Every structure is written in C-alpha cells, then in structure tokens.
Structure 1
Amino acid sequence: MSQVFGDLVQQAKDALERAGIEGAAREARILAAKAADIPVDRASLSFQEVVAREAQSKLEAFIASRVLRMPLSHITGTRAFYAHEFTVTPDVLDPRPETETLIETALESDFQHVLDLGTGSGCILLSLLAARSEAAGVGTDKSPRALDVALENAARLGVTDRCLFLRSDWYSDVEGQFDLIVSNPPYISAQEMENLQPELTHEPRMALTDEMDGLSAYRGIIPGAGAHLRPNGRLLVEIGWTQRTPVVGLYEQSGFTDINITSDMDGRDRVVSGVWQGA
C-alpha cells in the first residue's frame, strides 16, 4: 500500500510529542519534507502526495536522532537565519533568532569594512554583506572546520568575492582597521552549562562557554577593538541577558562612547554597541 506525505508528518508529530519536543508539529513537517525530498514551503500543500518507499526509513532515522536531542539543523543540514538559509554542521554554533538582533543593530548605520570575531557558520558576517552590496569583510575563527562551513555559506549567498576567512584567536592574526566589528562570543559560564537544553551538547563547546565566568571573551574583544577600528567605528557584541553591567563597564573602561543596549524579541538585553572615537 502506498504511503502519502501526510502519514509521514503524523508519524513524526506523534513521535516528537511523545519525546517532549517543543514545537513538534512544525518540526514534524520539516523532517517529513526532508525525508520525502519535498520543499518545506510546499509541505502544507503536499499531504496527499504519494512518497517514495525509502522516505519512511529516512524519516525513522531522522526521528531517532531528534529524540536523542540532536538539533534539528544538524539533521536537515541547514538553518534559516535572518534573510537566508545557512549550512549548519556539528562544527558550528546553530544560529539562533536572538542573534538576528545583532544584524538589525549593525544595519542601523553605514559600514564598508566589517570584522566578525568567532564567525562560526559565518551567518553574522554573511548576512551583513548580503544586505550591503558595497561592503566587504573578514571573519575569524579558531576552528578550521568552522571556517570551511563559513566558506560554503559564502558561496551559497554569492558573496565569496567580498569576504576573507582567517584562522585566528580573536585579533591575533587580524590586520588593518574596520568600520564595524561584530561578535557573538562564548558567553555561557561553566556553571550555567550544566542546566542548558540537551540539544546544546551536540554543538561545539568552545562556541558556547569560556569554561569560566562567561566574560573572558569580552575581556579580550572589547579592550583590543580600538586598535582595529577606524575613528567613529562601532563595536557590537551579543551578550547573555544578565551580562549588561560588566560588559558595559568594559566598554567604558576601554574608551568607547555612545554605548547602547538593544533588547531581543523577548525583551532581554542582547546587544551592546559603542563608538570608538580614536586614540
């Protein structure tokens, strides 16, 4: 007996609900579409379509992985972020909606040359370059595998000719000055790691935590930014929602002006920005 796409969706929904996966209905459509090789945006219109026999076994493998709390993006291989879809692997941080606040804040002002520290999948840098056709940028990361993912995403977005990816520990191998520096550094403390969602155990730990108090990355990024910013250049960093006071303090101590906090869609402090007036 032939099976239709709607059966796959229901099977996935039931399994994910039993496992306590939040948003089971949405994820079921995505996993079933991946298994049946149907575009996700056509899922709702395809419930009566007959699917290939191998779609069932593919879906069962996807469900088994998701029940073990493998992130959905690691199963599908992609994540929608801001205005684009990015390749995602276990070697990079899974882009999250709250990080889009960083993109929106950066795009409030002009820039020609941007530096993204700890670029991971490249989603921040590449989203900015795609939105500003006249801009170019550099992305750095300590992980060569992450840089491979970023290069793949640059090709997906058609901006390869406007970006350079470097293996670098923050500023260690960076040369030149920029109009804008952005970063979503590891800001989860070692203590907080114990209570995070199980999906995060599948992501690169060094992209999540500094194994200390969650502030060590800022202690390197913020004081070092002046050497790489042009006068009136901006530094934007994503923060954890409890880190406003110590991070703003680092901006003040490092000589930044016009320091602002931008909240994410949930009303939590998410991005700190400041202007560098020059030494």
Structure 2
Amino acid sequence: MADAVTVDELHPGDHACLTFTDPDERLDLVAEFVADGLHRGQRVICFTDSLSPDELAAELAMREVAAVAAIGSGQLTLYASHDAPAVEGGATAERMVALIAAERHRAARRGVPGLRVAADMCWAGRPMAVDQLLTFERQAASLFTDGRLTAICQYDRETFDAVTLAFAADAHHKTIAALAYHDTPLLRICRQHRPAGCASPGRWTTRTWSRSARRSPRRCGWTTTSTSTSPSCVSSTSPPRRPSCRAPWRCPRRAG
C-alpha cells in the first residue's frame, strides 16, 4: 500500500499519485513540486491535459513560480499530452514512457541532478484509453530504480472511476495529500504552499480573509494571515463558518 505524504516530503526516485477533486488544490501542489525541482537545478517536465501549456504557465506564475524564465532557459518544459514530440498521433503508454526515458537519459548525460515529471493523467480517461493507463503505470515503474526520476501522476476523481483510482494508488510508491488543518463536510482548511498560508479550497484564501478583516475588523468573524502555516483560530466548541460580514461566530482569541 502506498505511503501518504505531503508534496514537500517527496524524495528523488519517488513515484507518487495525486488524486484530487479541487483544481486549485491540485495546482498548488503541482506548483510546489515544480518550484522545488527548479530550485534544486533539476530538469522539470509537465504533461498537461485539462489546461493548455500557456494556461498552466500562467497558473504557475500566479503561484510565484518563475515559469517563464525556466521555460526560456530550457529547464522547464510544458507539454500538452497530445503535442509532446514522442507522442505524435496521440498519447499512448509506450510513447509516454519512451519520452520520459529519453529525457531522463538526456538529463543524466548533461549532468543535471535529476528529472521531475508532473503528469496530468486526464488523457487516459478518454474512451479506449484506460488500458493504456494500466500499461503506462506498469512500464513507468522501471524508470525509478536509480533515483534520478521523481514524478507525480495526477488523477481527477471526476474523470476516473473508483476502480481505476484504486489501481492508480496501488501502482505508486506514495500518494500525495494536502495537509488539512480542519476538514469537515462544511469547511476544509488546508496548507497552501504557494504563496505560503492556508486555503479553503474553492471558497476563500487567507489573503481574502485578511483583506476582509482589514477593511472591516469589527464585522468580520475571523481572520488569518497570509504567512501563517495553520489557521489563526478554529474554535473547539463552536463550528467555524465561512467568513462573512454577518457571521455571528467570533474568534475566542478576540473575545472581550
């Protein structure tokens, strides 16, 4: 069974699976993975399907990743799954594995300290492609033996069925999970890597909360700062609510 880790706990040679529901949470984790690889001087490749390469570059830049400069220097490459040079004619397991193997060999020959791959696996969710997914994951496993390749395969829960997601989890050494500080059906607060802080996926970010508090500190129910690594206040006796100028719940630290 795969070990569950946060994205900053990955090591060279790890083959990790990321299953996600919230696209922003996924992009935050991918941005941290890419930024760490660039910082280490590694070659970084992103296969993107749900977003175009230009859209992904913009998302990375918005998350404080120097994507444009890295693309210009050749350290970072963003491929649409169907446009990668080795997968002309459509993504297949053999073509994808061959491309990654070639990039891994090229990085080693140039003295680059490793290759990172972030793969959006939505291409395998199309009709007749699921068998390619199984082949890809099995064949790709042999590329991780020398520790020069680190990869995250991303699976959208709205694209893949439960059986496929279970296979994906079993086919990887590790699974990536966001660090959640508070997780209930009503509210989820998790660590945001880029920029550093906390986020409530799909609703509010810490910067939004902080700006609301500065504009109306007397009316805003709770606040947190954009540099904190945990929620500044989560009541153990009262359920936290989505920030609102009319929220009756108040932070116990501010009471009185």
TM-score by length of 2: 0.36
- Higher relative contact order at CA 8 Å, sep ≥6: structure 1 or structure 2? 2
**Structure 1 or 2: more helix by fraction:** 1
